[in-house]
Amino acid sequence: MAMLWVMMSALCLFALSKVEAQTQETDQDYTLEAASTENPDGTLTITANSPRPLWQALNMLYSKYGIEVDYEDPHYSNDQLYGPSGIGRRLRGGKFTATIPLNRSNSAAQKENMLSSLVKQYNDIAPLKFKVYFHKSEDRVDVIPDNSYQQPLLSTPVVINGENLSVEDVVNQTTRQVAIRSGNCLERAGIIDNSLAAQKASFKSAEALPAREVLAQVLDELEMKKIWLVTYDPQSSCFHLGVFNAQQLVDNRVRPVPQTHITK
Protein backbone atom coordinates (compact mmCIF):
# COMPACT_ATOMS: atom_id res chain seq x y z
CA MET A 1 0.00 0.00 0.00
CA ALA A 2 2.76 2.44 0.94
CA MET A 3 4.67 1.71 -2.26
CA LEU A 4 1.55 2.24 -4.37
CA TRP A 5 0.88 5.51 -2.57
CA VAL A 6 4.42 6.70 -3.33
CA MET A 7 4.06 5.82 -7.02
CA MET A 8 0.72 7.59 -7.28
CA SER A 9 2.07 10.61 -5.42
CA ALA A 10 5.04 10.82 -7.74
CA LEU A 11 2.70 10.87 -10.73
CA CYS A 12 0.46 13.40 -9.08
CA LEU A 13 3.29 15.80 -8.40
CA PHE A 14 4.40 15.59 -12.09
CA ALA A 15 -20.29 19.64 6.83
CA LEU A 16 -17.20 21.92 7.56
CA SER A 17 -14.96 22.97 4.79
CA LYS A 18 -12.11 25.39 4.26
CA VAL A 19 -9.71 26.00 1.42
CA GLU A 20 -6.89 28.46 1.99
CA ALA A 21 -5.03 29.74 -1.09
CA GLN A 22 -1.26 29.45 -0.83
CA THR A 23 0.11 32.97 -1.12
CA GLN A 24 3.75 32.06 -0.67
CA GLU A 25 5.74 31.20 -3.79
CA THR A 26 6.89 27.88 -2.36
CA ASP A 27 5.44 24.51 -1.47
CA GLN A 28 7.43 24.18 1.76
CA ASP A 29 4.25 24.04 3.87
CA TYR A 30 2.69 21.19 1.92
CA THR A 31 2.27 17.85 3.68
CA LEU A 32 3.12 14.48 2.17
CA GLU A 33 -0.27 13.04 3.05
CA ALA A 34 -3.60 14.24 4.45
CA ALA A 35 -4.23 14.06 8.18
CA SER A 36 -7.40 12.42 9.50
CA THR A 37 -9.23 12.21 12.82
CA GLU A 38 -12.11 9.86 13.65
CA ASN A 39 -14.57 11.83 15.79
CA PRO A 40 -16.79 10.46 18.60
CA ASP A 41 -19.93 11.40 16.64
CA GLY A 42 -19.06 8.95 13.86
CA THR A 43 -17.63 11.49 11.46
CA LEU A 44 -14.17 11.78 9.94
CA THR A 45 -12.23 15.06 9.73
CA ILE A 46 -9.70 15.28 6.92
CA THR A 47 -7.07 18.00 6.52
CA ALA A 48 -5.18 18.12 3.22
CA ASN A 49 -2.47 20.58 2.21
CA SER A 50 -0.93 20.01 -1.21
CA PRO A 51 -0.92 21.19 -4.83
CA ARG A 52 -4.02 18.97 -5.24
CA PRO A 53 -5.80 19.06 -1.86
CA LEU A 54 -8.91 17.19 -3.04
CA TRP A 55 -6.84 14.40 -4.56
CA GLN A 56 -4.75 14.19 -1.38
CA ALA A 57 -7.94 13.81 0.69
CA LEU A 58 -9.24 11.12 -1.71
CA ASN A 59 -5.92 9.32 -1.53
CA MET A 60 -6.16 9.22 2.26
CA LEU A 61 -9.59 7.56 1.99
CA TYR A 62 -8.04 5.05 -0.40
CA SER A 63 -4.95 4.22 1.62
CA LYS A 64 -6.66 4.11 5.04
CA TYR A 65 -10.21 2.94 4.27
CA GLY A 66 -9.86 1.12 0.93
CA ILE A 67 -12.12 3.48 -1.05
CA GLU A 68 -10.72 3.29 -4.60
CA VAL A 69 -11.44 6.25 -6.86
CA ASP A 70 -10.39 7.19 -10.39
CA TYR A 71 -9.33 10.84 -10.40
CA GLU A 72 -8.98 13.41 -13.18
CA ASP A 73 -7.34 16.82 -12.96
CA PRO A 74 -9.13 19.86 -14.41
CA HIS A 75 -7.68 22.41 -16.82
CA TYR A 76 -5.97 24.84 -14.43
CA SER A 77 -6.10 28.60 -15.06
CA ASN A 78 -3.08 30.88 -14.66
CA ASP A 79 -4.20 32.14 -11.25
CA GLN A 80 -3.94 28.56 -9.94
CA LEU A 81 -0.30 28.32 -11.02
CA TYR A 82 2.84 30.11 -9.91
CA GLY A 83 6.45 30.41 -10.92
CA PRO A 84 8.10 31.09 -14.28
CA SER A 85 6.99 29.24 -17.39
CA GLY A 86 8.58 25.87 -18.10
CA ILE A 87 10.48 23.96 -15.43
CA GLY A 88 9.60 26.42 -12.67
CA ARG A 89 5.82 26.32 -13.18
CA ARG A 90 3.83 24.71 -10.34
CA LEU A 91 0.31 24.26 -9.05
CA ARG A 92 -0.51 26.67 -6.25
CA GLY A 93 -2.84 24.32 -4.36
CA GLY A 94 -3.80 25.03 -0.78
CA LYS A 95 -5.24 23.70 2.46
CA PHE A 96 -8.58 21.91 2.62
CA THR A 97 -10.43 20.66 5.70
CA ALA A 98 -13.66 18.68 5.61
CA THR A 99 -15.75 16.62 8.01
CA ILE A 100 -17.63 13.73 6.42
CA PRO A 101 -19.69 10.74 7.59
CA LEU A 102 -17.55 7.69 8.29
CA ASN A 103 -18.80 4.25 7.40
CA ARG A 104 -16.64 1.14 7.14
CA SER A 105 -19.11 -1.08 5.25
CA ASN A 106 -17.66 -0.06 1.85
CA SER A 107 -21.07 -0.54 0.26
CA ALA A 108 -21.78 1.41 -2.90
CA ALA A 109 -24.30 3.63 -1.07
CA GLN A 110 -21.97 4.48 1.82
CA LYS A 111 -19.08 5.00 -0.54
CA GLU A 112 -21.17 7.50 -2.51
CA ASN A 113 -22.25 9.22 0.71
CA MET A 114 -18.68 9.77 1.91
CA LEU A 115 -17.34 10.88 -1.47
CA SER A 116 -20.28 13.16 -2.27
CA SER A 117 -19.94 14.90 1.08
CA LEU A 118 -16.21 15.42 0.60
CA VAL A 119 -16.54 16.77 -2.94
CA LYS A 120 -19.48 19.04 -2.05
CA GLN A 121 -17.51 20.65 0.76
CA TYR A 122 -14.56 21.17 -1.55
CA ASN A 123 -16.81 22.74 -4.19
CA ASP A 124 -18.30 25.15 -1.64
CA ILE A 125 -14.99 27.01 -1.51
CA ALA A 126 -12.73 26.00 -4.41
CA PRO A 127 -12.86 27.89 -7.75
CA LEU A 128 -12.63 24.66 -9.80
CA LYS A 129 -15.50 22.25 -9.19
CA PHE A 130 -15.65 18.44 -9.24
CA LYS A 131 -18.37 15.80 -9.19
CA VAL A 132 -18.67 12.15 -8.24
CA TYR A 133 -19.42 9.94 -11.24
CA PHE A 134 -20.57 6.34 -10.77
CA HIS A 135 -20.23 3.91 -13.65
CA LYS A 136 -22.93 1.37 -14.43
CA SER A 137 -21.15 -1.37 -12.50
CA GLU A 138 -21.37 0.67 -9.24
CA ASP A 139 -17.97 -0.84 -8.41
CA ARG A 140 -16.13 1.96 -10.21
CA VAL A 141 -16.41 5.60 -9.23
CA ASP A 142 -14.63 8.64 -10.64
CA VAL A 143 -14.04 12.12 -9.28
CA ILE A 144 -13.95 14.36 -12.33
CA PRO A 145 -13.96 18.10 -13.12
CA ASP A 146 -17.39 19.73 -13.32
CA ASN A 147 -16.97 23.21 -14.79
CA SER A 148 -19.34 24.57 -17.45
CA TYR A 149 -16.60 26.30 -19.42
CA GLN A 150 -14.41 23.23 -19.89
CA GLN A 151 -14.97 19.60 -20.87
CA PRO A 152 -13.19 17.05 -18.70
CA LEU A 153 -10.38 15.45 -20.67
CA LEU A 154 -11.75 11.90 -20.42
CA SER A 155 -15.18 13.04 -21.63
CA THR A 156 -13.60 13.20 -25.08
CA PRO A 157 -15.31 10.63 -27.37
CA VAL A 158 -13.09 7.92 -28.86
CA VAL A 159 -13.56 4.96 -31.22
CA ILE A 160 -11.43 1.85 -30.72
CA ASN A 161 -10.38 0.08 -33.91
CA GLY A 162 -8.53 -3.16 -34.55
CA GLU A 163 -8.67 -6.88 -33.96
CA ASN A 164 -7.01 -8.99 -31.25
CA LEU A 165 -6.19 -5.94 -29.16
CA SER A 166 -4.79 -6.27 -25.66
CA VAL A 167 -6.03 -4.13 -22.77
CA GLU A 168 -2.78 -2.19 -23.11
CA ASP A 169 -3.53 -1.55 -26.79
CA VAL A 170 -6.96 -0.17 -25.95
CA VAL A 171 -5.59 2.09 -23.20
CA ASN A 172 -2.88 3.40 -25.56
CA GLN A 173 -5.37 3.98 -28.39
CA THR A 174 -7.64 5.83 -25.99
CA THR A 175 -4.77 8.01 -24.80
CA ARG A 176 -3.73 8.94 -28.34
CA GLN A 177 -7.27 9.67 -29.52
CA VAL A 178 -8.03 11.87 -26.52
CA ALA A 179 -4.89 13.90 -27.22
CA ILE A 180 -5.75 14.32 -30.91
CA ARG A 181 -9.49 14.98 -30.52
CA SER A 182 -9.23 17.31 -27.52
CA GLY A 183 -6.16 19.20 -28.69
CA ASN A 184 -4.48 18.64 -25.31
CA CYS A 185 -1.22 16.84 -24.59
CA LEU A 186 -1.95 13.50 -22.90
CA GLU A 187 0.72 10.85 -22.32
CA ARG A 188 0.88 7.50 -20.53
CA ALA A 189 2.74 7.52 -17.24
CA GLY A 190 3.33 5.27 -14.24
CA ILE A 191 4.96 1.87 -13.92
CA ILE A 192 4.91 -0.88 -16.56
CA ASP A 193 2.04 -3.32 -15.94
CA ASN A 194 2.54 -6.55 -17.89
CA SER A 195 -0.97 -7.74 -17.06
CA LEU A 196 -2.43 -5.09 -19.38
CA ALA A 197 -0.46 -6.40 -22.35
CA ALA A 198 -1.12 -10.07 -21.48
CA GLN A 199 -4.92 -9.74 -21.36
CA LYS A 200 -6.82 -9.72 -24.65
CA ALA A 201 -9.59 -7.15 -24.72
CA SER A 202 -13.08 -8.28 -25.62
CA PHE A 203 -14.26 -4.65 -25.66
CA LYS A 204 -15.45 -3.41 -29.05
CA SER A 205 -17.54 -0.42 -30.01
CA ALA A 206 -18.40 0.86 -33.48
CA GLU A 207 -19.64 4.14 -32.05
CA ALA A 208 -17.79 6.86 -30.17
CA LEU A 209 -17.85 6.63 -26.38
CA PRO A 210 -16.39 8.94 -23.72
CA ALA A 211 -12.82 7.88 -23.00
CA ARG A 212 -13.60 7.16 -19.34
CA GLU A 213 -16.30 4.68 -20.37
CA VAL A 214 -13.86 2.87 -22.65
CA LEU A 215 -11.26 2.72 -19.88
CA ALA A 216 -13.81 1.48 -17.36
CA GLN A 217 -15.11 -1.28 -19.61
CA VAL A 218 -11.74 -2.56 -20.73
CA LEU A 219 -10.07 -2.39 -17.30
CA ASP A 220 -13.05 -4.10 -15.68
CA GLU A 221 -12.33 -7.15 -17.84
CA LEU A 222 -9.24 -7.83 -15.74
CA GLU A 223 -9.29 -10.19 -12.78
CA MET A 224 -7.88 -7.61 -10.39
CA LYS A 225 -9.26 -4.10 -10.15
CA LYS A 226 -7.35 -1.21 -11.70
CA ILE A 227 -7.76 2.50 -11.01
CA TRP A 228 -6.51 5.43 -13.07
CA LEU A 229 -5.13 8.83 -12.25
CA VAL A 230 -5.00 11.74 -14.71
CA THR A 231 -2.83 14.65 -13.58
CA TYR A 232 -1.69 17.86 -15.20
CA ASP A 233 1.99 18.84 -15.23
CA PRO A 234 2.27 22.65 -15.49
CA GLN A 235 5.96 22.41 -16.34
CA SER A 236 5.33 20.53 -19.58
CA SER A 237 1.71 21.72 -20.06
CA CYS A 238 0.78 18.06 -20.47
CA PHE A 239 -1.68 15.66 -18.83
CA HIS A 240 -0.50 12.19 -17.77
CA LEU A 241 -2.58 9.01 -17.46
CA GLY A 242 -1.45 6.32 -15.04
CA VAL A 243 -3.13 2.94 -14.43
CA PHE A 244 -2.51 1.23 -11.09
CA ASN A 245 -3.49 -1.92 -9.20
CA ALA A 246 -6.14 -1.26 -6.58
CA GLN A 247 -5.00 -2.65 -3.24
CA GLN A 248 -6.43 -2.75 0.24
CA LEU A 249 -5.09 -3.48 3.70
CA VAL A 250 -6.41 -6.77 5.08
CA ASP A 251 -5.12 -8.08 8.42
CA ASN A 252 -2.22 -5.60 8.14
CA ARG A 253 -1.19 -7.03 4.76
CA VAL A 254 -1.56 -5.45 1.37
CA ARG A 255 -3.86 -7.51 -0.84
CA PRO A 256 -4.99 -7.03 -4.46
CA VAL A 257 -8.65 -6.10 -4.80
CA PRO A 258 -10.84 -8.42 -6.92
CA GLN A 259 -13.42 -6.75 -9.14
CA THR A 260 -16.40 -7.86 -7.05
CA HIS A 261 -15.34 -6.69 -3.57
CA ILE A 262 -18.00 -3.94 -3.31
CA THR A 263 -21.22 -4.89 -1.53
CA LYS A 264 -24.27 -3.81 -3.55
pLDDT band per the 50, 70, 90 thresholds, residue 23: very low
* Model pTM score: 0.83
* Side chain identity at residue 113, one-letter code: N
- Which residues does residue 240 pair with via DSSP β-bridges, in sequence order? 187, 231
**How high is the pLDDT of residue 129?**
96
**Comparing 74 with 78, which gets the higher pLDDT?**
74
Tell me the average pLDDT of the chain.
83
- Annotate 63-84 with three-state secondary structure: HHHCCCCEEECCCCCHHHEECC
Q: How many residues does the chain have?
A: 264
d(Cα 195, Cα 178) in Å, to the nearest integer? 23
Q: Tell me, what's the pLDDT at 106? A: 66
Average pLDDT over residues 63-80: 90
Per-residue pLDDT tens over the stretch 185-232:
999 998 888 889 999 998 777 789 999 999 999 999 898 889 999 999
* pLDDT bracket for residue 80 (50, 70, 90): confident
